[in-house]
């Protein structure tokens, strides 16, 4: 069996205590401990440390920890995913897309709109009469305006976050 | 595994409502979705261990409360990014120990390698009757201190400590052996 010096035995004490040394090394440590009072003292200390670490105490958390944490997170702004605006946005986009394809595409709409704009400018210059917009175009304009409004609201939600009041509880009798 | 179950039971016991037992993972999932009550249950279930962890780091009751609060606020901010397909505890304790480390780093340089001089009469640790072991642990290099706190003080398995620290179980064991050896030397020098 190999003989260990104190310097070799000391770093093996913790694994020895845990039982994680192979049989031969453990036997060598045991033999060294049998003949060395200093290392026996170190071994005693090494044995006691895990239990003493487990017994380390910390004070109880103060009773106001939970309320102060909840008050702190109530101030945290966290962006939330809002379904309402998303549904509206999708609906409006679908309406606009359906309407545009009903007019045979964007190019048709563009020439149509530019014609109307020219007419409006002409009316402003006094060379033409105010064009009467078909009611479906008004619907398109209204849908676009609504989409802009909903998207703006949605963006405001995302940027500002929504910190719902923490004290909101259902009223009880 | 014991501590996971214990935490789950503790969380469930803290449930003041209809006695519905929710695991920390389920609470974390709900809290991540914006459920404040689930978050409150989570805090209730973990506050003792989180405060204990913070206390082992800062060794001051008032500061430990600040650190514990910082940990929970950090948790709240990060819950949305938590992947519920992964176990909650290692993720959470990694976050918690990071907050502790950042706090200590911001505060003062680590009080390690301090000579144990004879004029320790004014040492606040001495005045508060703190044990020699707690003091030695506080002076230990944090690479060795963290696994000891997680395993012995927070009662985590070696597997959980390894997951929390992103190390192998063998590496955790070796750090714990070295940390305990430093503690042993410090304590036996003080005693002798
Ligand atoms: Zn010896």
Q: Which residues contact B74 (CB under 8 A, 6 or more apart)?
A: B95, B99
Whether A110 and A35 map to the same domain: the answer is no
Report yes or no: B67 and A72 within 8 Å, Cβ to Cβ: no
CA-based torsion, B163, B165, B166, B170: positive or negative = negative
Token pair, residue B179, equals: 């940390």
**CA proximity to A137, closest of A108, A167, A166, A168:** A108
Cα separation, A7 vs B85, whole angstroms: 48
The least confident of A37-46, A101-110, B12-21, B152-161 is B12-21
| pLDDT above 70 (res A65) | yes
Please tell me the pTM assigned to this model. Answer: 0.63
Whether A31 and A90 map to the same domain: the answer is no
Interface contacts (A, B; CB < 8 Å): 110
Q: With CB atoms and an 8 Å threshold, state whether A69 touches B55.
A: no
Q: What's the domain range around A125?
A: 65-172
Is B2 within 8 Å of chain A by CB? no
Whether A159 and A104 map to the same domain: the answer is yes
Neighbours of ion ligand 1 (CB under 5 A): A 6, 36, 39
Question: In chain B, what percentage of residues exceed pLDDT 70?
Answer: 77
Report yes or no: A82 and A164 within 8 Å, Cβ to Cβ: no
DSSP string, B78-105: HGGG--TTS-HHHHHHHHHHHHHHHHHH
Whether A69 and A39 map to the same domain: the answer is no
**The dihedral formed by the CA atoms of B63, B66, B70 and B71, expressed in degrees to the nearest 10:** 60
Whether A42 and A93 map to the same domain: the answer is no
**Average pLDDT, stretch B111-121?**
43
The beta-carbon neighbor of A72 closest among B36, B69, B178 is B69
pLDDT score recorded for residue B180 = 97
**Mean pLDDT over each residue of chain B, to the nearest integer:** 81
Whether A142 and A83 map to the same domain: the answer is yes
| pLDDT above 50 (res B85) | yes
Residue B140 φ then ψ, to 5°: -70, 145
A84 vs B106, higher pLDDT: B106
Residue A30 lies in a domain: yes
**Mean pLDDT over each residue of chain A, to the nearest integer:** 80
pLDDT score recorded for residue A135 = 61
Hey, what CATH topology would domain B120-192 get? Arc Repressor Mutant, subunit A (1.10.10)
ipTM computed for the complex = 0.74
List of chain B residues whose C-beta atoms are within 8 Å of the C-beta of residue A78 = 34, 76-77, 80
Whether A42 and A70 map to the same domain: the answer is no
| pLDDT above 60 (res B119) | no
The total domain count for chain A is 2
The beta-carbon neighbor of A73 closest among B39, B50, B68 is B39
User: In angstroms, what CA-CA distances link A42 with A46, B142, B179, B190, B192?
Assistant: 6, 23, 14, 13, 11
Cα separation, A38 vs B15, whole angstroms: 53
Is B51 within 8 Å of chain A by CB? yes
Residue A37 lies in a domain: yes
pLDDT score recorded for residue B1 = 40
**Average pLDDT, stretch B49-75?**
93
| pLDDT above 90 (res B4) | no
**Average pLDDT, stretch B127-147?**
82
pLDDT digits (tens, 9 = 90+) for B33-60: 888 999 999 999 999 999 999 998 888 8
pLDDT score recorded for residue B121 = 42
C-alpha A60 chain-centroid distance? 30
Q: With CB atoms and an 8 Å threshold, state whether B180 touches A50.
A: yes
Residue A118 lies in a domain: yes
Whether A166 and A107 map to the same domain: the answer is yes
**Average pLDDT, stretch A58-86?**
83
pLDDT score recorded for residue B54 = 94
A131 vs B157, higher pLDDT: B157
- How many A from CA of A37 to the centre of ligand 1? 7
The least confident of A48-57, A77-86, B27-36, B93-102 is A77-86
Residue A60 lies in a domain: no
Whether A152 and A81 map to the same domain: the answer is yes
Is B34 within 8 Å of chain A by CB? yes
Helices B2-13 & B36-58 angle (0-180, nearest 10): 130
Cα separation, B72 vs B41, whole angstroms: 12
Q: With CB atoms and an 8 Å threshold, state whether A53 touches B176.
A: no
Residue A1 lies in a domain: no
| pLDDT above 50 (res A171) | no
**CA proximity to B128, closest of A53, A63, A50, A58:** A58
Whether A70 and A30 map to the same domain: the answer is no
Residue A32 lies in a domain: yes
* Shortest CA gap B21–chain A (Å): 20
Q: Which of the listed residues A32, A55, A78 is the one where a domain comes to its end?
A: A55
The beta-carbon neighbor of B184 closest among A42, A65, A72 is A42
Residue A150 lies in a domain: yes
A160 vs B102, higher pLDDT: B102
Question: In chain A, what percentage of residues exceed pLDDT 90?
Answer: 38
List of chain B residues whose C-beta atoms are within 8 Å of the C-beta of residue A18 = 173, 177
pLDDT score recorded for residue B34 = 85
| pLDDT above 90 (res A58) | no
Whether A72 and A49 map to the same domain: the answer is no
CA angle, A54 as apex, B23 and B159 as ends, to 5°?
50
Cα separation, B75 vs A35, whole angstroms: 54
pLDDT score recorded for residue A67 = 96
Whether A85 and A19 map to the same domain: the answer is no
Token pair, residue A32, equals: 């060294």
Residue A12 lies in a domain: yes
Q: With CB atoms and an 8 Å threshold, state whether A54 touches B187.
A: no
- How many A from CA of A32 to the centre of ligand 1? 6
Token pair, residue A35, equals: 């003949």
Report yes or no: B11 and B27 within 8 Å, Cβ to Cβ: yes
């Amino acid at each position: 069996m190999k003989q260990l010096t104190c310097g070799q035995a000391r770093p093996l004490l913790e694994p020895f205590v845990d039982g994680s040394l192979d049989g031969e090394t453990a036997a060598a440590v045991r033999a060294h401990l049998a003949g060395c009072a200093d290392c026996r003292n170190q071994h005693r200390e090494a044995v006691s440390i895990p239990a003493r670490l487990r017994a380390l105490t910390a004070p109880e958390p103060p009773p106001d920890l939970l309320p102060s944490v909840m008050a702190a997170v109530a101030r945290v702004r966290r962006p939330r995913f809002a379904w309402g605006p998303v549904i509206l946005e999708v609906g409006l986009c679908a309406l606009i897309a359906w309407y545009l394809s009903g007019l045979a595409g964007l190019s048709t709409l563009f020439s149509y709109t530019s014609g109307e704009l020219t007419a409006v400018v002409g009316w402003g210059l006094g060379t033409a009469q105010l064009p009467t917009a078909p009611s479906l175009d008004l619907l398109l304009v209204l849908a676009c305006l609504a989409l802009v409004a909903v998207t703006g609201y949605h963006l405001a939600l995302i940027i500002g976050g929504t910190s719902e009041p923490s004290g909101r509880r259902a009223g009880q009798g | 595994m014991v501590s996971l179950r214990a935490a789950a039971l503790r969380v469930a016991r803290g449930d003041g409502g209809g006695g519905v037992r929710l695991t920390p993972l389920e609470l974390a999932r709900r809290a991540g979705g914006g459920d404040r009550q689930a978050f409150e249950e989570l805090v209730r279930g973990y506050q003792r261990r989180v405060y204990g962890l913070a206390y082992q780091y800062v060794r001051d009751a008032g500061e430990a409360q600040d650190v514990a609060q910082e940990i929970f606020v950090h948790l709240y901010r990060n819950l949305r990014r938590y992947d519920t397909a992964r176990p909650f505890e290692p993720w959470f304790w990694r976050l918690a120990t990071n907050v502790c480390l950042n706090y200590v780093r911001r505060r003062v340089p680590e009080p390690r390698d301090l000579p144990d001089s004879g004029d320790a009469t004014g040492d606040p640790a001495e005045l508060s009757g703190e044990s020699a072991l707690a003091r030695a642990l506080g002076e230990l290099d944090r690479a060795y201190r963290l696994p000891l706190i997680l395993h012995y003080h927070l009662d985590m398995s070696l597997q959980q400590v390894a997951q929390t620290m992103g190390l192998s179980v063998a590496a955790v064991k070796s750090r714990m052996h070295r940390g305990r050896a430093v503690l042993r030397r410090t304590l036996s020098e003080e005693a002798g």
